Chain A
Amino acid sequence: MQRLFKIFRDKRGISAVLSSLLLTVVAVAAMAIATSATYVITTNLRETMSERVIVEDVWFNNYTNSIDIYIRNVGEVTVYILAVYVNHTSQPFPSPFTLEIGEHQWLNISQNWVPNSSYYIDVLTTRGTHVAAYYESP
């Protein structure tokens, strides 16, 4: 008991222990940060490369006077639609619009359209993928 008490009271060499401990903590923290950064970078790259979206159909709807776009996620990650442009003008749409892997649904754009006109429709995802084409109204 007395011996243990003596060891605890002995302050010699404690700075070496502390510095080693501190260095270990710093090294572990640095590696943790590096590993997290690696994970984030590879995940972002992988998701951006795996994103595939198609527009199955565009319906210039007479009844609702809107442009309805049917979108399908054929990629390997969830897709988040960020914006829809009709003739380079941003259009409001029901946001957030998310498509899981293999999911497909209508995206309704309240846009007054005129018959026999050409429309450039561009769908943009949060990862920067564009699905754009010209469509002719009936």
Chain B
Amino acid sequence: MLLLIMNRLRLDKRGISNVIVAMLTLVLVVIIVSNVILTSYQMNQFDWERMQENVEIVNVASTVDGTTFTLQNKGSVTVHLVSLWVDNTTIHQRYDMDLYINAGDSVNYTLSNIGSVDNASIVKVVTDRGTISVLNSSWQNS
């Protein structure tokens, strides 16, 4: 009996195009939805990591080697610093950086080719995720 029904179904070709159309449409919908969900997930991850970033410029000190910036990562993710800015009334100077700081770590970063950094300067660092940390005029030049 079952064999008879199966045989009949196999020979019956009616409505097969509808099934094919539905399958193809389903495939397209799945591709669209999965693509959007995947990208959304990736960017949510990026934004979440960016929110966890917390870099603090602890101190700026003039030494014989140049100017040393003490940077501390107070966040819960590793940060990649890409820019260092020293802004004053006459010039806004940007320096390239390529420094990774692990969560909780503190690093001294020395720049030798830097001009005078006075107390009125605004110092800031930028991460590759786009977080900006600023230190302005309250730091001690030791």
Contact = CB atoms under 8 A, between A and B. Distances in A.
Interface residues of B, number: 25
Interface in A43-89: 45-46, 49-50, 52, 54, 56-57, 59, 62, 68, 70, 72, 74, 76
A62 B94 CA distance: 17
A41 B25 CA distance: 15
Contacts, number: 60
A38 B28 contact: yes
Interface string A33-45: 0110010011001
Contact of B132 (A38, A56, A68, A76): A56
Interface stretch (B70-78, B85-93, B99-107): B85-93
B22 interface: no
Interface string B29-62: 0011001100110110010000000000000000
Given A42-B32, A57-B92, A50 B85 contact: no
B129 A42 contact: no
Contact of A50 (B25, B43, B92): B43
B46 A52 contact: yes
Interface string B104-128: 0000000000000000000010101
Given A52-B46, A54-B130, A72-B126, A104 B83 contact: yes
A54 B132 contact: yes
Given A46-B39, A104-B83, A38 B31 contact: yes
Interface residues of A, number: 24
Nearest to A48: B39
Contacts of B124: 57
A92 interface: no
B83 A56 contact: yes
A102 B126 CA distance: 12
A29 interface: no
Contact of B39 (A50, A52, A74, A104): A50
B125 to A, nearest CB: 10
Nearest to B36: A45
